[in-house]
Structure 1
Amino acid sequence: MGDPFDLNDPASYLRWRKEKLAAAPSSVDELIVEVADPRALTQNEHAALSERIRRCNMAIYASSLHEADTGIPRLLGGQFGLAHLDANWLAGEDGVSEIRVFDGGTRHHYIPYTDRAIKWHTDGYYNPPGRTIRAMVLHCVRSAASGGESRLMDHEMAYLLLRDEDPQHIRALSAMDAMTIPERVDETGGLRATQSGPVFSLDATGHLHMRYTARTRSIVWKQDTATLAAVAALEKLLASDMPHILRARLEPGMGLLCNNVLHDRAAFSDIPAQTRLLYRARYFDRIAG
């Protein structure tokens, strides 16, 4: 068995490419699985979610469970082999983050905790290699009064389309110095050293991982022709309306289970009677199966 992500193995890539395109969902509806209780999936519910993960690295579950319980994403994740949470400093004691508008305190300085739009990214792109975010659960307790929808794209499909356009895009974005986060002060007032790394990389089991943000602040791209051309091609891809970019708005009881796919978030508006609340659990593990 060859490696489809090896630029020197075009035969394996073409086989994988054919299968990937054949399995790709054409609408977000294909991602949705109705479940009775995400904390305790039936065998059929688990199988249906797993099938979608294998196809496109993401699935959306829909339930009538509207409780404000951070155990929901943790118990769901545990059923897919997700055990090692990224308990970052803004998460709760159980490692799950409340994604809602904070009007004061530290969180309101960070975009996820505002009502502003968030550009295309994968989660934890700023983490060091030892804390790579490979999977994520986003569970919706309350949706916004308006807005807040997301675009989603399988990072493997982004790789495929970029490689089809020019394999040199992949070579450039796989360089260890492709994307750099400059030296910065961290949450404790300490200094974080400059950190460089690739956009595309493989984990120990040969699965593709993507590290990316469309933000221009606090990000420095390698200033060579190949890298800048690859970044421009990726930006053009993500700005398009191609069918491989899916649009979803999570409603109460729904959630996204994914291998840290590309995603963004539209701006939203709350009203006192309806304030958006999502729980986010980020994992160092990849979804099992």
Structure 2
Amino acid sequence: MTNPASAAWVEPDAHPDSPFLPDNDGAYRRWRDAKLTGYPASAGELVVELGDPRAMSAGERAELLRVCRKANMAIYRSRLGALEDKDIPHRLGSAFGLRDLDRNPLADDDGVTSLSHVPGKSERGYIPYSNRRLLWHTDGYYNPPARRIRAFLLHCVRPAGEGGENGLLDHEIAYLRLRDTDPEYVRALMHPLAMTIPPNVESGTETRGAQSGPVFSIDPLNGRLHMRYTARTRSIVWRDDAITREAVQCLERILAEDSPHVFRYRLASGEGLLCNNVVHNRAAFSDAPGATRLLYRARYYNRLADT
């Protein structure tokens, strides 16, 4: 079930001084202090006011960049309201160097996905197209290394009538909390066979092969921390050893805590999330009569420029 090529996820030799390597304690301590200094204390501190995300001013872009550099994410609030325009994610993403879209089979023709409750897709097991809750995950956790999702963008055209709030946790904070608990947990979750996603099979046909890899890895392109994770249990095979089981349970506790680092926010019309693929979830929702929830989602192989 495992993929021999999965070792490509972990290339520590490319960045031997990385603070994310478990043996580099001094570098980690310096990174940790810098990370926590001035870290946002609430979701409100992530919000940046924009006029039009399709044509930001230099000041608006700089403020979004400042927040993303600290928290790997920012929430923008624009004056566009419920305008349906795919140019919004395309042009906003382009302003941050996001050009290489993950054109997955369920995306729209332009590579941006229109997320709403679609019973046909929901019944096939694709939870983002249902109105059910989405458990904690990073986007593209089932993708191979060559298609790492480094950033994604959500733009809300219409919120749900009720529910649909997102939980958001900076993946670097998740790593920090885990490493502070026990560096061996980090080491276990950096193993190239830590987490295996079984193949996807529809109507007896395999549409995606099994994919093994770590939860935490060092991105060989930029030396930054990458995370692939899902809290789903039905479609996950964890490495069968005691330390991995303990590490997974610790991570689950971190995600379940009422922590000041876990931000909760319900996007309104004209608002959006720009991020370096942070860990996130979504509450169940119900649509208002005659007004279905609609969000645009764009996933990228690029990381946000200058972060």
Q: What TM-score bracket applies, with the shorter chain setting the length?
A: over 0.9
SS state at 1:190 partner = strand
Q: Which structure 2 residue ranges, 5 or more long, are not aligned?
A: 1-15
CA deviation after TM superposition for structure 1 residue 59, in Å: 0.3
1:167 aligns with 2:183: yes
CA distance in 2, matches of 1:103, 1:186: 16
SS state at 1:39 partner = coil
Which residue is equivalent to 2:268?
251
Deviation digits for residues 43-100 of structure 1, max 9, x if unmatched? 0100000001100100010011131111111110000000000011111110000110
Which residue is equivalent to 2:167?
151
1:231 aligns with 2:209: no
Letter in 1 for 2:95: Q
Partner of residue 156 from structure 2, selected from 140, 146, 169: 140
SS state at 1:137 partner = strand
Alpha carbons 1:186, 1:192 under 8 Å: kept: no
Letter in 2 for 1:242: S
SS state at 1:160 partner = helix
CA deviation after TM superposition for structure 1 residue 186, in Å: 5.8
**Any residues of structure 2 matched to 1:81-160 within 5 Å, and which?**
81-104=97-120, 106=121, 108-109=123-124, 110-160=126-176
Q: Which structure 1 residue ranges, 5 or more long, are not aligned?
A: none
1:51 aligns with 2:75: no
SS state at 2:68 partner = helix
1:34 aligns with 2:53: no
CA distance in 2, matches of 1:43, 1:183: 45
TM-score, with structure 1 as normaliser? 0.96
CA RMSD of aligned residues (A): 1.5
Alpha carbons 2:199, 2:206 under 8 Å: kept: no
Which residue is equivalent to 1:60?
75
Q: 1:188 to 1:205 in 2, by over 3 A?
A: farther
Partner of residue 205 from structure 1, selected from 197, 201, 222: 222
Deviation digits for residues 236-284 of structure 1, max 9, x if unmatched? 0000001000011000000000000000000001122331100000000
Alpha carbons 1:4, 1:16 under 8 Å: kept: yes
Letter in 2 for 1:112: P
Letter in 2 for 1:147: G
Which residue is equivalent to 1:214?
231
Q: 1:186 to 1:95 in 2, by over 3 A?
A: farther
SS state at 2:30 partner = helix
Which residue is equivalent to 1:5?
20
CA distance in 2, matches of 1:239, 1:175: 24
1:77 aligns with 2:86: no
Deviation digits for residues 132-168 of structure 1, max 9, x if unmatched? 1000000000001110001100000000010000000
CA deviation after TM superposition for structure 1 residue 107, in Å: 5.0
Letter in 1 for 2:229: Y
Aligned length: 288
Q: What is the percent sequence identity of the aligned residues?
A: 56
Q: 1:218 to 1:37 in 2, by over 3 A?
A: same
Alpha carbons 2:164, 2:266 under 8 Å: kept: yes
CA deviation after TM superposition for structure 1 residue 108, in Å: 4.3
CA deviation after TM superposition for structure 1 residue 38, in Å: 0.4
SS state at 1:18 partner = helix
CA distance in 2, matches of 1:77, 1:42: 14
Letter in 1 for 2:291: Q
